[in-house]
Structure formats: C-alpha cells, structure tokens
Structure 1
Amino acid sequence: MQRGKGMKFVGDSRVPDKESRNKIPKDYSEYPGRTEAFWPNFLLKEWLVGAVFLIGFLCLVAAHPSPLEQQADPNNASYIPLPDWYFLFLYELLKYKYAAAQYVVIGTVIIPGLGFGALLLAPFLDVGPERKPSKRPITVGLMLLGVAATIWLTYESAAHVNWEERAKYSVANVPDVEIDEDSPGYQVYSQNCMSCHGDSLQGNPGMAPSLVGIPYKAEQIKDIAKNGIGTMPANQFQGSEEELNQLAEFIVSINEQASGSGEGGEGKSEDGGSSH
C-alpha cells in the first residue's frame, strides 16, 4: 500500500488568535433564540425593561403620594411608630419571642443575614447551565422561600394595624386653625414660646412639639410653662401671673378650634391621646 494513499492531512492549531478574538464577536447563529451578545443586544433590552418599570413607578408615585404623618411629639406616649411598608416584614419578625428583647440581635442581624446571605450564595450553590426554573431547584427554592416569608410577614404585620386609628396622625388631618396675632395671649406667646414652638404653634422638629391638638387644660398648661415637661426644662416662662393666664387661655382657644369640641380639649384623654 502506497504511503499516504486515501489519507487527508488537516491543519490543527492550538494557539488562539488573540488579536482576532478581541475584535470579531462570537458567531451565535448556531444557537438562534438561545443566547446573544451582551453588548449591545442584551444590555439594551435590560435598559428598556428598566425604563418601563421606572416610568410606571414614577406615575404611581405621582398619582398616589406616600402618606406622610405629622412630626414626632416626645410628649405623646400613645403614639406607636410604624416603619414604611417595605420594612414591615422585619417589624413583624421582631414580635416573635426569639427575635426580640434579649434575642434582638437574632431578629435584626442573624436571621436577615442568613436570608440575604443565602440569596447571595445561590448562584454559587447552583452552577448548572440550565435556564428553566425546574432545572434550578436550589436557586428557585431559596428565592421562593424568601419571597413567601417576606409576603407573609408583611401581611401579618399590616393585618394587626388599626389603620383608621393611625389616620389621625396623617398630615392631611392637621387641624386648620386661625391665629389672632393681635391678641394679648399671642403677644405673650411670641415673647416666651415662639423661638421653640414656631409662629403658628406648629412646633420645631428636634426641638419642641406642636401645641395644636395637645390634650391639656389651662391649669396644666400653666404648670408646664412653670415646671417644664419631658425635655422642656422648668422656668422657661418669664412674665407675670396675668400674662401666664393669657398664654394658657390663648393655647386653649387654639386647641378648641383644632378639636372642634369647644371645651378646650376636655373631650380628649389625659394620657396624651393626640399626636403631632
């Protein structure tokens, strides 16, 4: 048999052509509809989808603004703070025995850390090339478990909130009062209280609460002006007894307007049932 007869010699190079590889994109025609170049095809689609959701979210926010509450009042012990809806699941988690009190570190650090850590490790735990959810049990299972836990805890938290009771804290329900700046009581107020509580008794966040809607009567207001309350120190009022009476009557009259009761806040509880 003659050497080489019936045989074909094929060149084979194991050295990659780095120059051409960097300039010529990979040919994906062998896999139509299954994969594509990241730039610009895939990234452009991601941007378009993100833009659609962003525009939809902006329209939702414009049509239904977030319900804001009034400024915090350190003198109102009846107010129970409530986090925004996207933190309600953590708020509910802290109600359980082994996630609160002396175990608060478990509820605030360990459990959320394990949950988010599992989601971060999911791509490394499930490295299969399949794209079908049924072929990715670890990743899909962790994601479904996280979503289900978040939805359930959020629902449980929202279901136990008295939303009608909380509506009175809304900024939409701030009492609309008219202030007579020529009255003697307002003149006394401007000399003793305005620097902290504002020109319209609206309060100053971080300094002093609003005086509109407070549950105190005239005698209580005079006692607070002399002896202080909470973070308010004593002896803040500088004036005569007559001026103190004018100040108390002025604040009571404002609260009569705010409550609509015409009784100087007597219809409200003594434990601070109003909120600001």
Structure 2
Amino acid sequence: MHRGKGMKFVGDSRITDPASRTKKTPKDYSEYPGKTEAFWPDFLLKEWLVGAVFLVGYLVLTVAHPSPLERQADPTDTGYIPLPDWYFLFLYQLLKYEFASGPFNVIGSIIIPGLAFGALLLVPFLDTSKERSPFKRPLPTGFMLLAFAAMFYLTWESVANHDWEAAKAQGEIKEEVATVEFDESAEGYQLYLGSSCIGCHGNAFEGGLGKPLIGLDYTADEIVEIAHNGLNGMPGGTFQGTDEELHKIAEFITTLQPAE
C-alpha cells in the first residue's frame, strides 16, 4: 500500500493572492434607458429610507395632534349634523348634488366613483411609455391632475357647507325667511302637525334643518315623490303615514305662497 494514496490538496481562498481576486464592479445600465442603478440593494435602500422618514413624521404628527373624537351619539338631538372623516368628504359632497342623490343615489355612490377609480387603475396599462417626465406622459398626468382637482374642490365645498350649516343651526347665521298666511284648521295642516315633517321644516313652513316649504315650484305629485325618494340633502322615506295623508299634505304645501 502506497503512502498518500487518496489524499487531495485543497487551496484556501483566504491565502490567495489579492491581485488575482475578481473585483465586484457595478452593472452597466447604459443599455437600459431610465435605469441608472441596481434595484437591490441601492434603489430599494433609498426607498426604505424615504419611507421611514415619512412614517416617523406621521407617527409624530398623530402623537402631537390626536384624532378628535366626537361625543356619544344621541338620537334625540335633531340639531346634530353628521360628517364623515376628511378622506371621505369629497364623496359626501358628491351625494349632495341633484344628479347624484335621491333616486340617482346609485350614480353618486357607485357609478361615478367606480368609473373614476377604474380609470386611474387602467392608466398604467393605457400608457406604457418608459418616460419619467410628466410633460412627456400627458395621459397619466392629466388623469392625476383631474382626480386631485376634483377631490380638492369637493372636499373644500363639503367643509364650507358644513360650517355654514353648523353656524345656521347655532343661530350665528340668520336668513330672511318668507312668511305665509294659511288656514291652521285645514286638514292638510293638521296632518302636517302630526307628521315628522314639522321637525325639519317648522310649524310655519319656515324651514330649519330642512328647507322652507313656502313658494315651492313643485306639483303635489312631485312633492310626494321627493318625500318618498329624497332630494339633495333631504333623505327619503321619513314620512310615517299613509299615501293619502301624504298627498293631502303635498296639496296643502302647493297652496303656500309668500305673503307680499
């Protein structure tokens, strides 16, 4: 048997010549327009650092200014005006317009938001340009500017209207209300006194939480339809009574004309 049979000699990389080692050079991205650095770890590390800064800033902001909590809900308080969180105010304002409220509520709550958010989701597939400049990508830039402008305007209008309604409910704003003379013994008025309508429109039809009912440009059938389906900020289905009683109230309301 020969000595050393089966023995193998293995070199140790730790003692190899440093000059013979291959240097790690960055990949050349000149052939790829728009790419200037490796995604991992260079680009991703920058994204994490920026995200961490924003996260810390957001946490500091929430600690310094806690989210305000309203008082406990009181169903007997008819002067309370509910308001959603700020990031839903633009949708809340959209439901106040005639084309998106009442019988068209599905348009304001589902169709219009669905089309808007669906269009934003489709933009990356409609514009596959590799350009980074917003001026060279008019389609996504236009969609984003339009979406931002619409959300900003609707949010602003919602806050302004809510402040005005709150000031009006507290008596800080007083509008000139038209007066009307009517027969308090009329059947339509007696039915009105016993209905839920008086809580919002007042015992003299002067308005309050709801709009005044004096000098309306509606027929009796249209008033009945509004009572059933709602209109603008007025909810539908709040009348507790028969259709015959509602129709008599509506006919009485059509006779209310401002006093000269």
TM-score by length of structure 2 reads: 0.51
Q: 1:163 to 1:37 in 2, by over 3 A?
A: farther
Counterparts of 2:149 and 2:137, CA distance in 1:
18
Superposed displacement of residue 28, structure 1: 2.0
- Give the unaligned 5+ runs of structure 1: 1-23, 167-276
1:113 aligns with 2:120: no
Q: Alpha-carbon deviations, 1:187-207, whole Å to 9, x = none?
A: xxxxxxxxxxxxxxxxxxxxx
Q: Percent identity?
A: 68
Specify the alignment match of 2:99 in structure 1: 98
Q: Is the 8 Å Cα contact of residues 34 and 130 (structure 2) preserved in structure 1?
A: no
Specify the alignment match of 2:155 in structure 1: 154
Specify the alignment match of 2:71 in structure 1: 70
Superposed displacement of residue 105, structure 1: 0.9
| 1:40-51 correspondence to structure 2 within 5 Å | 40-51=41-52
Q: Is the 8 Å Cα contact of residues 34 and 131 (structure 2) preserved in structure 1?
A: no
Superposition CA RMSD, Å: 2.7
Q: Which amino acid aligns with 2:161?
A: H
Query: Deviation above 3 Å: which 4+ runs of structure 1?
Result: 29-34, 163-166
Q: Alpha-carbon deviations, 1:147-192, whole Å to 9, x = none?
A: 11000100011112228958xxxxxxxxxxxxxxxxxxxxxxxxxx
Counterparts of 1:164 and 1:51, CA distance in 2:
41
Q: 1:65 to 1:143 in 2, by over 3 A?
A: same
Q: Which amino acid aligns with 1:101?
A: G
| 1:5-154 correspondence to structure 2 within 5 Å | 26-28=27-29, 34-154=35-155
Superposed displacement of residue 146, structure 1: 0.4
- Give the unaligned 5+ runs of structure 2: 1-24, 168-260
Q: 1:93 to 1:165 in 2, by over 3 A?
A: closer
Q: Is the 8 Å Cα contact of residues 30 and 36 (structure 2) preserved in structure 1?
A: no
Using CA pairs under 8 Å that are at least 6 residues apart, name the structure with larger relative contact order, 1 or 2. Answer: 1
Q: 1:103 to 1:165 in 2, by over 3 A?
A: closer
Superposed displacement of residue 27, structure 1: 2.7
Q: Which amino acid aligns with 2:103?
A: Q
Q: 1:163 to 1:85 in 2, by over 3 A?
A: farther
TM-score by length of structure 1 reads: 0.48
